[in-house]
Amino acid sequence: MDLNEDTLNVLQDMAEAPNEMSFGDMVGFIQYQTNQKGIEFDGYFRTKLKNAADHPLSFDEEYFTEENRSDLYVFLAAEQDSDVFSWLEFAWNLTHDEQFTENILHREIYLLQEKGVKF
């Protein structure tokens, strides 16, 4: 089982149902796959999710489902991992009018950080 190939196949399937899927849905799936690779930033996602399960009052549900935080997680992972970059590039190119590049990746990270998004 090849995680990269399987992920691209699922993203392709998601893209073939454009009325039902959005870029945000694709990023959510990429986030799940990125988590499977064990990529974390400041304990986000796996470590803090485990802590939330062990200590239910420490995090609220919104912490893990907040769209901007999820986007930042995926964009930062794409900066470090070529598979994640290719998945994000595939999803971006299907849903945006510009081709995904490292410059766009850095722009999106910058914009999210300027909004105050953090882990």
Tokens (6 digits) for 119 = 């882990």
H or E segment and range at residue 47: helix 46-54
For the chain, the structural domain boundaries read 3-15+22-114
Q: What is the reported pLDDT for 88?
A: 96
Tell me if 8 sits within 8 A of 80, measured CB to CB: no
Tell me if 105 sits within 8 A of 76, measured CB to CB: no
Q: Give per-residue pLDDT as tens, 8-60.
A: 788 887 777 756 668 888 998 898 888 888 887 665 556 655 655 554 544 44
Predicted confidence band at 99 (pLDDT cuts at 50, 70, 90)? very high
Residues 6+ apart with CB under 8 A from 99: 93
Tokens (6 digits) for 15 = 């893209």
Tokens (6 digits) for 115 = 């909004």
Q: How many angstroms separate the CA atoms of 83 and 78, rounded?
A: 7
Q: Give per-residue pLDDT as tens, 71-95.
A: 999 999 999 999 999 999 999 998 8
Q: How many angstroms separate the CA atoms of 22 and 28, rounded?
A: 10
